[in-house]
Amino acid sequence: MYLSPDDIRQTRLATLDNLLAASQIWVDASGRFADLGLRAGRQTLEEGRGQLEDLIAQEPLRFELPPLQQMSAWRGDSAEWMREAFEIIGDAQQGLLATARDQVATLDTILLRQMDRAALSADATGEAAIDHVKQAIREAEAGFKELTDAAARGTDMVEEQIRQVSEAIAAEPGTESAKAPRSRRTRS
């Protein structure tokens, strides 16, 4: 029982690809968070500048609460930023789950290949034991796939709840929001 140079090379390449994919997921999520923060910061600064100009232009100087419409718009913006932040986190989680699944499949493939090679030189009892181990590996991989699918569904449910909450916060009284929930699945 041995690993051929090609087995080692293929396993290393697949593992490096999966590590690169995981790193890229975090780089993308970080970029999206930076963009979200930049947009929110710019909008907040613009709102503050407008309020300061309005305050300076008043004769006589009075401190008043912003109009209800403006406060409602701020509430809606905040809810949208919250929803978008949770979407970024959910997308990153989905990507990492898919990458983890790919890596487990890579390792299981090489392990099953080694079991096949071992079975070639095993007696009947050893071959039966190897078949049981191979079946256990396949069942464990199927169980891991079910877990990642359940995690993906859980992420979808949390995102849907966040979407509903943010829409409820942002909605004007008496209006309905019509955004459809998005659905995702991890890669097979």
Cβ 114 vs Cβ 1: under 8 Å: yes
Structural Rg of the chain based on CA atoms: 27
Instruction: Annotate 20-59 with b (16+ C-beta within 10 A) or e (fewer).
Output: eebeebeeebeebeeebeeebeeeeeeeeeeeeeeeeeee
Q: Pull the structure tokens for residue 9.
A: 């090379």
pLDDT of residue 161: 83
Cβ 11 vs Cβ 110: under 8 Å: yes
**What is the distance between the alpha carbons of residues 168 and 160, in angstroms, rounded to a whole number?**
12
Report pTM: 0.68
Taking each helix axis from N to C terminus, what angle separates 5-57 and 68-120, rounded to the nearest 10 degrees? Answer: 180
Q: Pull the structure tokens for residue 184.
A: 């995702």
* Residue of higher predicted confidence among 116 and 184: 116
Write the single-letter amino acid at 158.
Answer: V
Which residues in the chain belong to E strands, given as ranges? none
Q: How confident is the model at residue 14 (pLDDT cuts 50, 70, 90)?
A: very high
Neighbour count for residue 84 (Cβ, 10 Å): 18
Q: How confident is the model at residue 175 (pLDDT cuts 50, 70, 90)?
A: low
**What is the distance between the alpha carbons of residues 18 and 77, in angstroms, rounded to a whole number?**
36
Q: Pull the structure tokens for residue 86.
A: 């949770």
CA 125 from chain center: how many Å?
45
Q: How confident is the model at residue 147 (pLDDT cuts 50, 70, 90)?
A: confident
